[in-house]
């Protein structure tokens, strides 16, 4: 924020700085200030498509107002490029969903996703091959061979994982409200360890490389992970890592850090996939922009989670989003107990916790738990038929 304000002092008509300042304010929960900052960006540059999308994400629309009309006007401009149209489509989809104009909203979500999907090559078949390799390499007999493997240091990390939009940010915010927990957000640490230590560059990559690893390799990887995550907070008893994608590496977590806490966030499959489809992610999820690909990927994820529960029973704590909505106290109590934490009332008032949140859920976790997203997929049941058929 200091850097953006300094930039604006030098160049007061710097629209990008106002937009990025808005993002920083949003991550801190200063939502009204974020809206004001996006409006300043758009006053300077009315066709700034990305700022329109940022504004739409944080704002709750109650009428077809000037901001929506401005987005529509820009969207109708035949001279804008595909990237600008894509940002506006996601923004307009969010705005019309707020107005409960669901068919119109979904048309924009489809347009935004179609434009983004055109920009890269991807095959969900490649993911299917990778997931099968994981199940084959990290099987029951492999874990039986490595029962006493890994680093057993004090204060083991807490991994929060699952599909995007499954409640991972909510669970981290609840835990980070506890005085003994530091919420570190989405860490790249585990992925870097896999690239550096388990992708050999000679055709033997993860997961096949685990067959060549011994107890010392897994312990060393566990020490590396612990040292890196501990840098985030030397004072807190626990540090959370909320990288959803880590569900693919639960077996490796077990081998590296056998005392780690692994919290698997689950949510109604159709609601999860809808929420993925209608949100723009900075970190691209290549499976997410086509309903059939999204459904197939979700089934791969679900199958892999069943595998982990089978081969390392008792290692994973499942938490269901819908149960958290209906029984916040009971679910929070069970969550804290699993993590070895004493009860603290602050965990129930997670929306008041003052910490940066840099995910697509940044605005949602500033509110008490609400149920308006439960079964939202039914508003789009007809449009989601290709997805629902595969799920």
Task: Give the CATH number, domain containing residue 235.
Answer: 3.40.50.300
- Same domain assignment for residues 107 and 210: no
Average model confidence (pLDDT) for the chain? 94
- Same domain assignment for residues 128 and 57: no
pLDDT reported for residue 139:
97
- Same domain assignment for residues 131 and 109: no
- Same domain assignment for residues 156 and 73: no
CA distance 323 to 116: 34
Report residue 251 as tokens: 């077996």
- Same domain assignment for residues 249 and 138: yes
- Is it the case that residue 13 has pLDDT exceeding 70? yes
Q: Considering 72, 102, 117, which residue would you say is the last residue of a domain?
A: 117
Backbone angles phi, psi at 238, to 5 degrees: -130, 150
Q: Considering 82, 117, 152, which residue would you say is the last residue of a domain?
A: 117
Tally of domains within the chain: 2
Residues 81, 86, 88, 89, Cα dihedral to 10°: 130
The predicted model scores a pTM of: 0.93
pLDDT in tens, 126-173: 999 999 999 999 999 999 999 999 999 888 999 999 999 999 999 999
For 365, residues 6+ apart whose C-beta sits below 8 A from its C-beta are 169, 170, 173, 350, 351, 357
- Is it the case that residue 282 has pLDDT exceeding 90? no
The range of the structural domain enclosing residue 92 comes to 2-117
- Same domain assignment for residues 360 and 268: yes
Give 329-343 as a DSSP string: HHHHHHHHHHHT---
- Same domain assignment for residues 113 and 148: no
- Same domain assignment for residues 171 and 52: no
- Same domain assignment for residues 208 and 277: yes
pLDDT reported for residue 42:
98
pLDDT in tens, 178-229: 999 999 999 999 999 999 999 876 668 999 999 999 999 999 999 999 999 9
In order of 129, 189, 226, the CA distances from 196 in angstroms are: 22, 11, 16
- Is it the case that residue 7 has pLDDT exceeding 90? yes
CA distance 84 to 45: 13
Task: Give the CATH number, domain containing residue 85.
Answer: 1.25.40.10
- Same domain assignment for residues 70 and 176: no
pLDDT in tens, 57-108: 999 999 999 999 999 999 999 999 999 999 999 999 999 999 999 999 999 9
CA distance 132 to 333: 36
Q: Considering 87, 117, 147, which residue would you say is the last residue of a domain?
A: 117
- Same domain assignment for residues 197 and 311: yes
pLDDT reported for residue 185:
93
pLDDT in tens, 96-128: 999 999 999 999 999 999 999 999 999 999 999
In order of 21, 52, 232, 336, the CA distances from 95 in angstroms are: 22, 11, 36, 37
- Same domain assignment for residues 175 and 258: yes
């Amino acid at each position: 924020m200091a850097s953006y304000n300094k930039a604006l002092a030098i160049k007061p008509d710097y629209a990008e700085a106002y937009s990025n300042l808005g993002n920083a304010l949003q991550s801190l929960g200063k939502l009204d200030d974020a809206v004001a900052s996006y409006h300043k960006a758009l006053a300077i540059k009315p066709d700034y498509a990305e700022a329109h999308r940022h504004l739409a994400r944080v704002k709750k629309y109650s009428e077809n107002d000037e901001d929506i009309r401005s987005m529509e006007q820009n969207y109708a401009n035949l001279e804008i490029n595909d990237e600008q149209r894509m940002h506006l489509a996601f923004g307009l989809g969010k705005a019309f969903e707020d107005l409960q104009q669901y068919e119109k909203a979904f048309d924009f979500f489809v347009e935004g996703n179609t434009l983004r999907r055109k920009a890269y090559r991807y095959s969900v078949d490649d993911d299917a091959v990778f997931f099968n390799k994981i199940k084959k390499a990290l099987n029951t007999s492999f874990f039986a061979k490595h029962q006493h493997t890994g680093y057993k240091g004090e204060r083991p990390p807490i991994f929060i994982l699952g599909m995007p939009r499954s409640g991972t940010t909510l669970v981290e915010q609840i835990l980070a409200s506890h005085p003994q927990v530091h919420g570190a957000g989405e860490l790249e640490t585990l992925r870097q360890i896999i690239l550096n230590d388990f992708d050999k560059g000679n055709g033997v990559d993860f997961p096949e490389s685990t067959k060549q690893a011994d107890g010392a390799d897994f312990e060393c990887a566990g020490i590396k992970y612990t040292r890196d995550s501990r840098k985030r907070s030397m004072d807190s008893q626990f540090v959370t890592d909320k990288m959803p994608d880590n569900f693919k590496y639960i077996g490796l977590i077990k081998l590296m850090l056998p005392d780690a806490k692994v919290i698997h966030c689950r949510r109604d499959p159709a609601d999860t996939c809808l929420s993925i489809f209608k949100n723009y992610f900075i970190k691209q999820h290549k499976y997410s922009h086509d309903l059939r690909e999204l459904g197939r990927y979700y089934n791969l994820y679900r199958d892999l989670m069943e595998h982990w529960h089978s081969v390392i029973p008792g290692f994973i704590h499942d938490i269901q989003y819908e149960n958290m909505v209906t029984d916040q106290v009971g679910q929070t109590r069970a969550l804290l107990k699993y993590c070895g934490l004493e009860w603290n009332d602050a965990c129930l008032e997670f929306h008041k916790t003052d910490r940066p949140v840099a995910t697509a859920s940044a605005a949602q976790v500033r509110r008490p738990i609400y149920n308006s997203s439960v079964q939202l997929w039914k508003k789009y049941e007809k449009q989601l038929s290709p997805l629902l058929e595969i799920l």
